[in-house]
Structure 1
Amino acid sequence: MQANVVKNAPFTRMNPFPGKILKNIDLNGEGSNKETRHLEISLEGSGLSYVPGDALGIYPENDPELVAALIDLMKWDADAPVAINKDGETLPLKEALTKHFDITNLSRKIVQEAANFTESADLKGLVEDAAQLREYLNGRDLLDLLQDFGPWSASAEDITALLRRMTPRLYSIASSIDAHPNEVHLTIGAVRYTAHGRERKGVCSVQCAERVNEGDTLPVFVQPNKMFYLPESKDTDIIMVGPGTGIAPFRSFIEERAVTKAEGKSWLFFGDQHVASDFLYKEELEKYQEDGVLTKLDTAFSRDTDQKVYVQHKMLENGKEIFEWLDNGAYFYVCGDRLYMAKDVNDALITIIEQEGKMSREDAEAYLENLSKEGRYQRDVY
């Protein structure tokens, strides 16, 4: 996606604002296995605004090393123009691969169509076996495809014509605009892992970690989230469960409640690996607790104990009080990992309702379902 700014037009998903980076720091301490970036971005002159719970969209750029590896492998001309849309608009190949095309995700369709440009029997066999193809697609990118099969009788434009456009990455906003006028803050965990014999990097997260410096700009837009929001009444109690980067929207919630002098109680469950290196926003949170903005703070650091302790375990330890808060009208929020954490927290919450409410599992599930319908159980999971 080209971040061409249309002057005098509102800044939107299709016309992102070039937000200047004011601050980019690593929140993790020495010895951490993680790298979590705190970004502060200027919205000055954008006309953009947001409320706690909203997300910020970023149009990222692909890793220049990955782009160079593709061009080198295929012996393409980096400056050759390639079409980037049906209107015939072109960009030099290197720029198109960097800014416009998604080169890190393969789809069934891309692999099927690529098979037309090679005599590779292996690729043709792969395309005909749905289960094998599905397995191949998992964790592989365009460079894998071009390296694994071939020789290719395809021009750069033949290949780029198969690719999808770069999509923006959405991150929960970690600030209150009332606390930080004309700014938006993000909490981004850098994604790095090894798969299929190669180091892999999250497109946007590692760009922010490695290649975005103070003074640079990122193309951004605000994405409202109508499903994740603070209660209308400032007197309502809130319980927030946000381990790791799931802390982001709750920093926003807490800042907002500090500015608006909300009377409702607030309770945060936070977890990560090590207290010494992974307690994100520790000083801020402890100060909010000291000031009475944050009523309760419970933490779980899984690698600091013989038996791994997670946020759901801390919830179960506090089941009686959690149920009292819920029964008195509290809102319950979860943000973070969809695959494991959110499911475990949901199960723990049902157990708490079942035990403390002295009801059957079925009735406890119905109670939680009702909270959800009332907008009092909200999840922002990914």
Structure 2
Amino acid sequence: MQLERSRTPLSNDQYRLLQQFIAALSPEQIAWAGGYLSGLAASNVAAAPSLNDSADITILVGSQTGNSDALAEQMHRLAAGRGLKTVIKKMGDYKFMQLKAEKKLLVIVSTYGEGEPPDNAKELFEHLFSKRAPSFPQMQFSVLGLGDSSYEFFCKTAADFDRRLEELGATRIYPRVDCDVDYESSAEAWMDAVLNELSVRAETKIEPAGLPPSPAANTPAYSRKNPFPAILLENIVLNGCGSLKETHHLELSLEGSGLTYEPGDVLGVYPTNAPDMVEVLLQALGFGGKEWVILDGGEDGFLYDALFRHYEITTITRPVMQKYALLANNPKLDQLLHDKRKLNDYLHGREMIDLVADFPADYVSPQAFVKCLRQLPPRLYSIASSSKQHPGEVHITVAAVRYQAHGRDRKGVGSTFLADRINEDAAVPVYIDCNNNFKLPADPAAPIIMVGPGTGIAPFRAFVEEREAVGAPGKNWLFFGEQHFETDFLYQAEWLRYLKNGVLARMNVAFSRDQERKIYVQHLMGEHGKELYAWLQDGAYFYVCGDAKQMAHDVHSALVKIVAAEIGADNAEGYVAELQKAKRYQRDVY
């Protein structure tokens, strides 16, 4: 199949690459690619109206992992079904001056860490709270927040946006809604209410809510709402004998699912609670487990099954404690809820069994108790494989969490579900969570620098596998850290092979407990600061994956110091901010 060169709008290089791509495809693959590109073109036309067909409503998105992006797309399709024109704009690409022109603004934004905005929302957030922020008397708005109520500053970024827009003169279309980890129903209710109000204001006839036909006819049937039962193929412990860590490499089959993923994406896993934890909680409550309860959504079943499959019984959140306190009528619990310092201390490392044992109630019905709980959310794991190297499979890297706290043995729900209770050939409910904010460069020749201590190494295994599979000429530099060289060098044989064949240009490792002074990845970065800065000057992309509370902050500080040593402290923060804005500094932190 050949294109007539004179009829294409492509450059010579683009035309040559397209011909090489087409030549490698089978007729079936060519047909699929054609349909995919047609759907992509239709989607782009819908999402980016021309100046002559401007959208009435802007959906402004701030996302760290991609959930807000997916909800914005859903809102866009629902609005189209009601005859409303919307355009999706990402906060990282948004021009501040556009705010003055916005008439109807829908903000969908997540919160992560200690109440922080997503990386791509920081500049806009700071601008809104600066003295330069203008007034918006013409603007009507509504805000949807995504967060996790187990954190103290639940949905703080959304609350801040909501409050600040009102302070600047904008009026609400509909009150802000804050969504917990089980966000779908709350988000959809907000969408429906906002679109109803917008339809009335636009004097548009309200049609029944529903999605118009999607341009992508081959959308997978499996999703977060309908997970795929993936068969476990392998479960390998990566640590050596004597290690204090227990890290599992798991391989799952996606055959027949229609699910696809790219390096940087995330696998959602629906676990169940550990049976022994359920039994201990039932005993503390004085229940047998065969009591009949109605679940959220109208389903019903035995109490044991509800606690085993449907509800979170480990992590305690403030809303859960407040609901339980209304049932328990326990003065000591009421007193604790009014002491913020003591409450924060109590929440750390405690579970529902502690709450029930420490603050017993005279009587709580099974139905009332489950009403206190939040749904058991999926656990998210960075994908550690390239589908080009492992077709029909997905790999993840999971650290089994086991510890003692407050006199009880504790264990991570998702990690020990995968490590202990899933045997080969067992099915694991999974879905793919696309993360458009953590992706390889579009240019395969661009260098990349990857910083991934512990299980933060997972997405970088996928990155390097992908770059090897496509023959990407860009250089790859990896920083990895763990406790001990002998027992904790995750995927060591693979990294050594990549170094030998040149796919990995450089690798620096820090094993914190192998010497008296603890050495971490940020220390290695500082030792190689000049080379790292030179790579950035050559167009390198900088990636970080791992713990958000400390590691990510330490790595960020180290990066700023490295840049400051080269161009001065006054310019360093701006340089790093420009890297983030250009999507050359990306983070997958948790």
Counterpart CA distance in 2 for 1:302 and 1:118 is 46
The answer to whether structure 1 residue 171 and structure 2 residue 356 are counterparts is: no
Say if 1:234 and 1:119 are closer, same or farther in 2 by CA, change over 3 A. closer
Percent identity, aligned pairs only, is 49
Q: Which of 372, 393, 418 is the matching residue for 1:183?
A: 393
CA contact (8 A) 1:43 1:184 kept: yes
Partner of 1:240: 450
From 349, 374, 381, the counterpart of 2:582? 374
Q: Give the Å deviation of 1:192.
A: 1.6
Residue 29 of structure 1 aligns to a residue whose secondary structure is: coil
2:294 is matched with 83
Shift of 1:188: 0.6
Task: Please tell me whether the aligned partners of residues 220 and 258 of structure 2 are also in contact (alpha carbons under 8 angstroms).
Answer: no
Amino acid of the structure 1 residue aligned with 2:408? R
Query: Are 1:353 and 2:563 matched, yes or no?
Result: yes
Q: Flag structure 1 segments of 5+ consecutive residues without an equivalent.
A: 2-7
> By how many angstroms is 1:375 displaced?
0.6
Secondary structure at 2:513 match in 1: helix
Tell me if structure 1 keeps the 8 A contact 2:274–2:417.
yes
| Residue from 465, 477, 480 that aligns with 1:255 | 465
Output one character per residue of 1:15-57: Cα deviation in whole Å (capped at 9) or x when no partner: 0000100001110001111000100000000000000000000
CA distance in 1: counterparts of 2:367 and 2:255, whole angstroms: 39
TM-score by length of 1: 0.95
Q: Equivalent of 2:422, from 212, 218, 228?
A: 212
Q: Distance in 1 between matches of 2:574 and 2:375?
A: 42
Instruction: Report the CA distance between 1:344 and its aligned residue.
Output: 1.2
| Residue equivalent to 2:258 | 47
Moved more, 23-32 or 337-346: 337-346
Would you say how many aligned residue pairs link Structure 1 and Structure 2?
Answer: 373
Q: Tell me the distance in 2 between the aligned counterparts of 1:238 and 1:120.
A: 56
Equivalent residue for 1:25, pick from 227, 236, 240: 236
Separation (CA, whole Å) in 2 of partners of 1:170 and 1:378: 18
2:157 corresponds in structure 1 to none
Task: Give the distance between the partners of 1:152 and 1:177, measured in 2 at CA.
Answer: 55
Report the 3-state secondary structure (helix = DSSP H, G, I; strand = E; otherwise coil) of the residue aligned with 1:96. Answer: helix
The alpha carbon displacement at 1:82 in A equals: 1.1
Aligned partner of residue 372 in structure 2, secondary structure: coil
Question: SS in structure 2 opposite 1:219?
Answer: strand
CA contact (8 A) 2:220 2:259 kept: no
| Cα offset, 1:119, TM superposition | 4.3
Structure 2 CA distance for aligned equivalents of residues 313 and 107 of structure 1: 36
SS in 2 for 1:304: coil
Q: CA deviation at 1:104?
A: 0.9
Moved more, 130-139 or 261-270: 130-139
Q: Could you list the per-position Cα deviations for residues 186-232 of structure 1 after superposition, in whole angstroms to 9, with x for gaps in the alignment?
A: 00111122222111111101111111111111110000001100001
The 1-side partners of 2:329 and 2:436 are apart by 50
1:64 aligns with 2:275: yes
Cα deviation 1:156-202 (Å, max 9, x = unaligned): 11101111101111110000001000000000111122222111111
Match of 2:352 in 1: 142
Query: Separation in 1 of the partners of 2:338 and 2:542?
Result: 47
How far is the alpha carbon of 1:9 from its aligned partner? 7.1
Structure 1 residue identity aligned to 2:235: N
Match of 1:154?
364
Does the residue aligned with 1:200 lie in a helix, a strand or coil? strand
Which residue is equivalent to 1:362? 570
> Given residue 272 of structure 2, which amino acid in structure 1 is its aligned partner?
E
Whole-angstrom distance in 1 between the partners of 2:385 and 2:220: 26
Greater helix share, structure number: 2
Deviation for aligned residue 1:243: 0.7
| 1:269 partner SS | strand
Asked if 1:294 is matched to 2:504, the reply is yes
* Aligned residue type for 1:76: F
CA contact (8 A) 2:222 2:257 kept: yes
Structure 1 residues 221 and 86 mapped into 2: Cα distance closer, same or farther (>3 Å)? Answer: closer
Contact 1:108 1:134 in 2 (8 A): no
Alignment-mate amino acid for residue 134 of structure 1: N
Contact 2:239 2:246 in 1 (8 A): yes
Structure label with greater radius of gyration: 2
Residue 488 of structure 2 is matched in structure 1 by 278
Q: Is the 8 A contact 1:175 1:251 kept in 2?
A: yes
Offset at residue 86 of structure 1 (A): 4.4
Distance 2:522 2:447 in 1: 19
Q: Is the 8 A contact 2:220 2:257 kept in 1?
A: no
Amino acid at match of 2:367: E
Contact persistence 1:172–1:186 (CA under 8 A): yes
Give the distance between the partners of 2:523 and 2:325, measured in 1 at CA. 50
Which digits, 9 at most, give the CA deviation of each residue in 1:93-140, with x for residues without a partner? 111101100111222222222223334321232233344333322222
The secondary structure found in structure 1 opposite 2:431 is strand
The equivalent of 1:5 in structure 2 is none
Q: Distance in 2 between matches of 1:9 and 1:283?
A: 35
1:267 aligned counterpart, secondary structure: strand
**Length-normalised TM-score, structure 2:** 0.62
Instruction: Note the C-alpha offset of 1:235.
Output: 0.7
Deviates further, 235-244 or 105-114: 105-114
Partner Cα distance (2:220, 2:387) in 1: 22
Between the aligned partners of 1:162 and 1:363, the Cα distance in structure 2 is 50
Alignment partner of 1:161: what SS?
helix
Instruction: Indicate the larger mover: 284-293 or 109-118.
Output: 109-118
Is 1:200 matched with 2:386? no
Provide structure 2 residue ranges, at least 5 long, that are not aligned to the other structure. Answer: 1-181, 183-218
Once residues 562 and 341 of structure 2 are traced to their aligned partners in structure 1, the CA distance between those partners, rounded to angstroms, is 40
Range with bigger deviation, 332-341 or 175-184: 332-341
Task: Give the 3-state SS of the residue equivalent to 2:362 in structure 1.
Answer: coil
Letter in 1 for 2:436: K
Aligned twin of 1:13? 224
Amino acid at match of 1:360: G
CA distance in 1, matches of 2:227, 2:536: 40
Deviation at 1:80, TM superposition (A): 2.0
Q: Shift of the alpha carbon at 1:319?
A: 1.1
Larger mean Cα displacement after TM superposition, 223-232 or 8-17: 8-17
